[in-house]
Every structure is written in C-alpha cells, then in structure tokens.
C-alpha cells in the first residue's frame, strides 16, 4: 500500500523533525522530567501545529488521517512530544472548530495554529471512568456564570493557554449525565491555579497537572457545549468528539511500537550470542513475526476508523473504540517483547525501548481506558450494532 504524494511529504517532514530535533533529546527529558520545551519549539518551527486547523485561522485544514501521520512519526521518536501535537490536533481546538461559536473560533484557533497548547479537564480525583459523577459546576453570575471545579490528570495543564472544562450547568442532577456541558477557560483568568503535577512512570517529558478553578468567570461566548439539565445531550456531543482523541492516542501507540520494533530488528542483526546473531535464532524470528502481525493488524483497524471520518468529519465511535483497544494492546505487547529481545540492555534506561514501553502504558489509560472501550464495543455489538464492512450483519435479536 502506498501513500499519496502529499501524505508521504507530510510523513517525511514529521520524521525529519522527529529524528533531528526530538529523538536525540527525548531520553534527557524523560530522565529529568523536564517539559519538552525544545520539542515544542521545533514543532512550531516546522509549522506542524497547523495540520488540523482551518486555513482561515492560519492552518492547513487537514483531517484525522494527516493528524495520525504526524502523531505516529513524532511518537516513533518520543511520545511526550507527540502529545503536544495531540493536544492541538485532537484536543480543544478541533472541538472549537466543529462546535464552537464564531468569537471562540476567532480568539483561539489562530493561537492553536501558532502552537499554543490547549488542555482538557474531564477527570477529577473522584470521577474518572465514571465521568457522570463529576462535581465541577457553574454557578449563575449576571449574564454568565462562575466555575467551581478541581480537575486532575490534565495533560499539559500547567503549560497550556486554555482548558476545555467539562462541568455541570445549573439545574444538573448530581451523579447523572444530565446537564453536563463544557466551557473554555483562559488559564490566565483570575481564580485559576495549578494545584500540583503528577509524578509518573512514563510520558515524563509532558506533565499532567491538577487545576483548581475557584469562582472563575465564564461568559456566554465561553460555552462550547451547553448542558441541558433535562437530558444528557451535551455529554453525548462531547463524548462523540472524543473519538478524534481516541484515534490520535491509537496513532501514537503505533508510532512508539513501530520505533521499538525497528530498534529490536536492528539490534538482533548486530548482537551475537555465542556463535550466532540473535537474528538467526528461529524462536526470536517468530517473536518479530508476531510483533509485526499484531502491529499491522491494529494499524488496519485504525486506518478504517480514520478513513470513515472523511475530511472534516469525526471518526465513528465503534470503529474508533476497536482501533484504540487494538493499538493500545499491540503497543504494550510489541514494546514489552522489544525489551525482551534486547535482554538486559532492553531493561536499561540507556536504550530507548523501555521508555517507549513506559510511555505507551499511560495511553492505555488516557482517553478512556481499554476496559471502558471494551464495555462500549461489547454492549454495542450485543445491541445489534456492527462495525463498517461487508462481513458483518446485525446479530439476530
């Protein structure tokens, strides 16, 4: 299968940036838990943040396929750096473009194209997978509201210019999805503070923050999706949009695992054990075969979800969930086996495969855990939904 000329050129641009400006420094950012500032600058210089932003706001106006190409190539070198792109491609800016009002689009999208970071605040200390138990809420204030919220695990929250905060609108019933919507908050506003940052196993070049919102003013034009206390339509709209993020997450898994697989293959051709190269041992050749089959299978599932999104569309939920599960699990297996193939060196922080493993491990939790995706896929199939393709017919009820 070949790529179009435009896609191949975009892949080459991203790969060049990744190999020249990111790969040599990624282990250092991981070691020191330093935010990948130089990576941010390199991505800006290469105009890579413009990929998904509409042309009228300074972007290239491309879609999920192109976003995935860049994410894959940057993650092949460093997942923390790819996440910077993910925050712009598949985070709040994409939601603003599709769902936001004109003022919001004019205010924020040129900033996204220029490589300012955006973050998303859904999770709270007592509300993760069960987002409907969130407490964040708006209190009426004149023609607008005041936001009271405490969000944790906000990727890039300490460094972003704005946060899309999922919250309850007045009249919302606690413990249900009714009345949940989302507002965009300028992180320089009064009442916003970074309460802390998480210390993590991987993705150490890209921090997750705890953000407190104490009576932060929210104007009517800051509302991305209004929550109607009578139903959960706002939450449904927001969840549908998360499919962009799920596909981007899957693309980063593919990229990191691809990098680990290629590294293991090169290593096996160099490393001699006794009288033989590792590459000559059939048991290890089979490992490479299994890793590649798993990775390529996951790639095809992601490709289907991306193609179904089409230009300007949103990837469909069932196919996106299937792709995320497959890519998360394939990456876990491939990176784990890459460590094994390098033996003791694989376990050493002087070689890159253990970092890839630690990084992708977090991607099986973010953007909806593997278990939550499985719940969705299982219940969807049992309810008669089928993934796109000529092979399935709806099960008999």
Ligand X SMILES: Cc1cc2nc3c(=O)[nH]c(=O)nc-3n(C[C@H](O)[C@H](O)[C@H](O)COP(=O)(O)OP(=O)(O)OC[C@H]3O[C@@H](n4cnc5c(N)ncnc54)[C@H](O)[C@@H]3O)c2cc1C
Chain residues that interact with ligand X, rule: CB under 6 A: 119-123, 128-129, 153-155, 203, 208, 362, 365-366, 369, 371-372, 375
Classify strands 180-186 and 223-225 as parallel, antiparallel or unpaired.
antiparallel
With beta carbons less than 8 A apart as the criterion, state whether 197 and 212 touch: no
Q: What are the φ and ψ backbone dihedral angles of 60, each rounded to 5 degrees?
A: -100, -10
The CA dihedral of 148, 151, 156, 158, to the nearest 10 degrees, is 60
- Which residue number has the CB closest to ligand X? 128
271 vs 333 by CB, closer to ligand X = 333
Cβ at position 160, least distance to ligand X in Å: 10
Cβ at position 209, least distance to ligand X in Å: 9
Cβ at position 273, least distance to ligand X in Å: 36
Give the DSSP H or E segment for 141.
strand 137-141
Q: What is residue 47's DSSP assignment?
A: T
124 vs 291 by CB, closer to ligand X = 124
65 vs 79 by CB, closer to ligand X = 79
33 vs 47 by CB, closer to ligand X = 33
Name 212's bridge partners. 150, 193
34 vs 303 by CB, closer to ligand X = 34
Among residues 142, 132, 139, 136, the alpha carbon closest in space to that of 168 is found at 136
Cβ at position 370, least distance to ligand X in Å: 7
- Number of residues written out for the chain: 397
Cβ at position 217, least distance to ligand X in Å: 22
Cβ at position 211, least distance to ligand X in Å: 10
CA separation for the pair 349, 37 (Å, rounded): 21
Cβ at position 171, least distance to ligand X in Å: 23
132 vs 340 by CB, closer to ligand X = 132
CA separation for the pair 331, 295 (Å, rounded): 7
Cβ at position 120, least distance to ligand X in Å: 5
Distances (CA, A) of 323 to 84, 236, 377: 21, 20, 11
115 vs 248 by CB, closer to ligand X = 248
At CA 152, angle to CA 103 and CA 49, rounded to 5? Answer: 45
CA separation for the pair 279, 292 (Å, rounded): 15
At CA 305, angle to CA 262 and CA 53, rounded to 5? Answer: 90
Give the DSSP H or E segment for 54.
none
121 vs 316 by CB, closer to ligand X = 121
């Amino acid at each position: 299968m070949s790529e179009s000329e435009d896609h191949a050129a975009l892949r080459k641009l991203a790969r060049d940036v990744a190999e020249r400006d990111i790969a040599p420094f990624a282990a250092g950012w991981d070691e020191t838990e330093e935010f990948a500032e130089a990576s941010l600058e390199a991505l800006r210089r290469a105009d890579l943040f413009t990929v998904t932003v509409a042309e009228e706001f300074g972007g290239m106006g491309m879609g999920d396929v192109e976003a995935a190409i860049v994410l894959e190539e940057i993650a092949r070198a460093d997942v923390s750096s790819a996440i910077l792109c993910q925050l712009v491609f598949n985070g709040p800016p994409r939601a603003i473009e599709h769902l936001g009002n004109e003022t919001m689009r004019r205010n924020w999208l040129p900033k996204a194209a220029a490589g300012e970071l955006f973050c998303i605040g859904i999770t709270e200390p007592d509300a993760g997978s069960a987002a409907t138990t969130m407490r964040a809420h708006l209190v009426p204030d004149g023609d607008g509201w005041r936001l009271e919220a405490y969000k944790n695990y906000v990727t890039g929250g300490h460094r972003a210019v704005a946060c899309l905060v999922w919250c309850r609108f007045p009249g919302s019933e606690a413990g249900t999805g009714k009345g949940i919507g989302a507002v965009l908050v300028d992180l320089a506003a009064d009442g916003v503070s970074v309460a802390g940052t998480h210390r993590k196993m991987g993705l150490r070049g890209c921090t997750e923050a705890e953000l407190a919102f104490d009576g932060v003013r929210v104007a009517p034009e800051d509302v991305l999706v209004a929550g109607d206390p009578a139903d959960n339509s706002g939450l449904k709209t927001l969840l549908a949009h998360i499919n962009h993020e799920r596909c981007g997450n899957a693309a980063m898994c593919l990229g990191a695992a691809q990098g680990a697989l290629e590294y293991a293959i090169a290593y096996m051709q160099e490393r001699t054990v006794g009288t033989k190269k590792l590459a000559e041992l059939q048991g290890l050749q089979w490992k490479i075969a299994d890793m590649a089959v798993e990775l390529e299978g996951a790639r095809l599932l992601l490709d289907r979800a991306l193609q179904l999104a089409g230009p300007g569309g949103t990837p469909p939920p069932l196919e996106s969930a299937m792709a995320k599960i497959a890519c998360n699990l394939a990456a876990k297996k491939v990176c784990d086996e890459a460590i094994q193939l390098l033996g003791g060196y694989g376990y050493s922080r002087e070689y890159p495969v253990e970092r890839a493993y630690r990084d992708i491990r977090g991607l099986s939790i973010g953007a909806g855990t593997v278990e939550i995706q499985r719940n969705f896929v299982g219940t969807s199939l049992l309810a008669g939904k089928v993934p796109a393709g000529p092979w399935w017919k709806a099960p008999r009820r």
